[in-house]
Amino acid sequence: MFYYISKIAWFFATPSNLLFCFILLGSVLACFTPWKKIGIQVTLIFAAMTLVLGISPIADYTLLPLEERFPAFTHDGKPVEGIILLGGSVQAGESFSRGRIVGNEALERVLETAQLAHQYPNARILISGGGGSVLGKGAAEAPIIADFLNSVGVDPSRIVMEVHSRTTSENAEFSRDLVKPHKGERWLLITSAWHMPRATAVFEKAGFPVTAYPVDFRTGKGFKNLHPHSSVSEGLRRLDVSMKEWMGLVGYYVTGRTDELLPSPHD
């Protein structure tokens, strides 16, 4: 139930969707009702907001605190039992249709996993990514990513696939039950930097301690490296990503799926 509620709520709360809806509302008021003046004002206000939020680096200012919450991983020579790759980087339907892996803007997760698989040749590779959606079951990402890793020389016997999860919370719970990690083992968790705070907190809550390995950064390091965007769509896309993650942090904390509102690294 939480899954469906969260997906439906997010659809209506997505900043780009909201802006469009208010512009549409203003247009309807201006063209088809007696409140023409109000409709024009609403349309102009939200059109201006769309332009400002899309071009300005406001979205990056909301992403940066998430991306810098966990430091980049340092290879210290300590053994690694396993590498966990969270789903969200592959277009499953398009991949099956094309007969090859079709990635999205988070494909760095997969590429980094392939590199780590060779760097830690004894580590197991756990791919956690089901294919659930509000409108249907869909295709799972894990088998597609596993095939790609096989094609770049990763031994299939090292790969474990978790294909039923639909949320980050389920990623953690199903992964824990699948590999049954032992105390003291070191598992690297690979996901987008902006998603890392919530992801690590969920794994900790599930009793599966992990070491953060953030990738797929969307911002430069530090506020001084944030600049205006060249297109409105780019800024709105980043705003959608950051607002979804901030809402996810609040939602997971309120529902008891994490123990911290804004999780941070623990020694």
Determine the residue type at 128: S
Full-model pTM: 0.91
Query: Does residue 4 register a pLDDT over 80?
Result: no
pLDDT value of residue 225: 84
Q: Nearest Cα to 189, choosing from 82, 96, 100?
A: 82
Please tell me the distance from the alpha carbon of residue 55 to that of residue 47, in angstroms, as a whole number.
12
Q: Nearest Cα to 84, choosing from 126, 142, 113, 144?
A: 126
Domains assigned to the chain: 75-216 (3.40.50.620)
Contacts (Cβ under 8 Å, ≥6 apart) of 196? 66, 69, 70, 189, 212, 214
Q: Which residues pair with 215 in a beta bridge?
A: 192
Q: Nearest Cα to 69, choosing from 238, 212, 173?
A: 212
Determine the residue type at 103: G
Average pLDDT of the chain to the nearest whole number? 92
Return the H-helix or E-strand segment holding 255.
none
pLDDT tens by residue, 11-62: 777 999 999 999 999 999 999 999 999 999 999 999 999 999 999 999 999 9
CB 22 within 8 A of CB 250: no
Q: Mean pLDDT over residues 136-142, rounded? A: 74
Integer angstrom CA distances of residue 21 from 11, 28, 32, 46, 56: 12, 10, 16, 9, 21
Return the H-helix or E-strand segment holding 128.
strand 124-128
Q: Which residues pair with 128 in a beta bridge?
A: 86, 162
pLDDT tens by residue, 204-256: 999 999 999 999 999 998 888 899 999 999 999 999 999 999 999 999 999 99
CB neighbours of residue 204 within 10 Å: 17
Integer angstrom CA distances of residue 69 from 133, 193, 264: 29, 8, 6
Burial class (CB in 10 A: 0-12, 13-18, 19+), 267: exposed
